[in-house]
């Protein structure tokens, strides 16, 4: 039986984020690589993109989702290793058992991170997070960072505050002051385009965003504007969901001026597909893609989606889908284009439980 649901204002949420997970495992398996810049992913000859890299590589500007050839230009002595998902999943299973020893309310995000709701525990959440990190190190030889806060958004932000191998806690009484100077880019759901639009409004911090009324935010951002009004105040009502499984991944762009030319649309789509491929490489390499889709919203706000079964984000398939969707508008200009993938359901292992810890 799972713990009783807790009121949002009483939650104690821990976000556990493994440090450079794939690279850390490879270095643990090959101690001679310690202290050297190491990346996982890519293919021989500098093709493909990096899945992750350690902090030594990041000092040279290498990062996840970066094309391997660019990483090698920045760090010619970078060690690039092939991915070994069987090994990473085995480590995930070990870490999962550790987390489930503290609460049944464990929500996976990806192969290297998860939320825990420990509100029902008598021990303070900060102490539990420290104990969890100690156990992960002792049992796997790997390090994890942790964030502790009253909700998921703040816990995830906090886990990045003292990386690597660190921990940071935001207590309820500290939320208001913490949010005042927090960059809006740190808010859950705010990507590059939204941050750019906020910047055009003169908004760089959550404190500045708090000065804009909910009606104005709704006018500019639709339903997400109402969510922004709460998030910039540190309010996140989402609960920790142990049954969560992401079904799709997508991105989209609303244009300042409507597009009347499909060639313009194809150029914008190519950029979106590139970003999508990077996101998949960075966080979702353990998921099988079932289909891809293109969303088009016309100038009159009517929208349509074209979809096709496909095992990955192939550019030519997206191009054909955009043509199909564009034609449905009968010559209308286009104000938004989106690109995405839908994941195949995870096959159960022998016992019906996912082998992976995260995802």
Tell me which residues are annotated as active site. Answer: 113
User: Nearest 5°: phi and psi at 53?
Assistant: -150, 160
User: Nearest 5°: phi and psi at 245?
Assistant: -140, 120
Among 126, 127, 52, 138, smallest CA distance to 95 is for 138
Instruction: Work out whether the CA dihedral 158, 162, 165, 166 comes out positive or negative.
Output: negative
Tell me 106's DSSP state. E
Q: What's the rounded Cα separation, in Å, for the pair 341 and 343?
A: 6
Are 260 and 298 contacting, i.e. CB atoms less than 8 angstroms apart?
A: no
What token pair was written down for 279?
């996101």
Among 193, 123, 137, 120, smallest CA distance to 16 is for 137
What kind and span of H or E run contains 290?
strand 289-298
Q: What's the rounded Cα separation, in Å, for the pair 217 and 224?
A: 8
Residues 6+ apart with CB under 8 A from 34: 27
What token pair was written down for 2?
């799972």
H-type alpha helices, the chain? 21-29, 55-58, 68-74, 85-100, 125-140, 152-159, 175-180, 192-200, 206-209, 214-221, 223-231, 262-283, 315-327
């Amino acid at each position: 039986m799972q713990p009783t649901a807790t009121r949002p204002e009483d939650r104690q949420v821990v976000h556990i984020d493994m440090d450079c997970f794939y690279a850390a495992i490879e270095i643990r398996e090959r101690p001679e690589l310690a202290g050297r810049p190491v990346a996982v992913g890519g293919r021989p000859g500098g093709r493909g993109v990096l899945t992750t890299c350690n902090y030594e590589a990041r000092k040279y500007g290498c990062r996840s989702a970066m094309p391997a050839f660019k990483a090698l230009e920045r760090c010619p002595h970078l060690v690039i290793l092939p991915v070994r998902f069987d090994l990473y999943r085995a480590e995930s299973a070990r870490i999962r058992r550790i987390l489930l020893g503290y609460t049944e309310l464990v929500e996976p995000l990806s192969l290297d991170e998860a939320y825990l709701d420990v509100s029902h525990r008598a021990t303070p959440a900060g102490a539990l997070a420290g104990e969890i990190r100690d156990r992960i190190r002792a049992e796997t030889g790997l390090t994890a960072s942790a964030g502790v806060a009253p909700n998921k958004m703040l816990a995830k932000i906090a886990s990045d505050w003292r990386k690597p191998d660190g921990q940071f806690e935001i207590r309820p009484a500290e939320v208001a002051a913490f949010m005042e100077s927090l960059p809006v880019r740190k808010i859950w759901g705010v990507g590059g385009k939204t941050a750019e639009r906020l910047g055009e409004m003169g908004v760089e911090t959550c404190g500045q965003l708090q000065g804009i009324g909910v009606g104005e935010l709704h006018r500019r951002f639709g339903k997400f504007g109402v969510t922004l009004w709460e998030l910039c105040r540190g309010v996140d009502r989402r609960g920790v969901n142990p049954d969560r499984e992401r079904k799709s991944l997508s991105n989209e762009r609303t244009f300042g001026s409507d597009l009347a030319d499909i060639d313009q649309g194809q150029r914008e789509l190519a950029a979106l597909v590139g970003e999508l491929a990077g996101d998949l490489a960075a966080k979702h390499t353990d998921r099988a893609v079932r289909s891809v889709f293109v969303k088009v919203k016309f100038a009159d706000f009517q929208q349509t989606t074209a979809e096709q079964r496909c095992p990955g984000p192939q550019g030519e398939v997206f191009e054909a889908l955009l043509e199909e969707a564009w034609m449905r508008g009968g010559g209308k200009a286009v104000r938004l284009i989106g690109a995405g993938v839908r994941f195949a359901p995870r096959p159960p292992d022998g016992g019906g439980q996912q082998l992976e810890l995260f995802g």
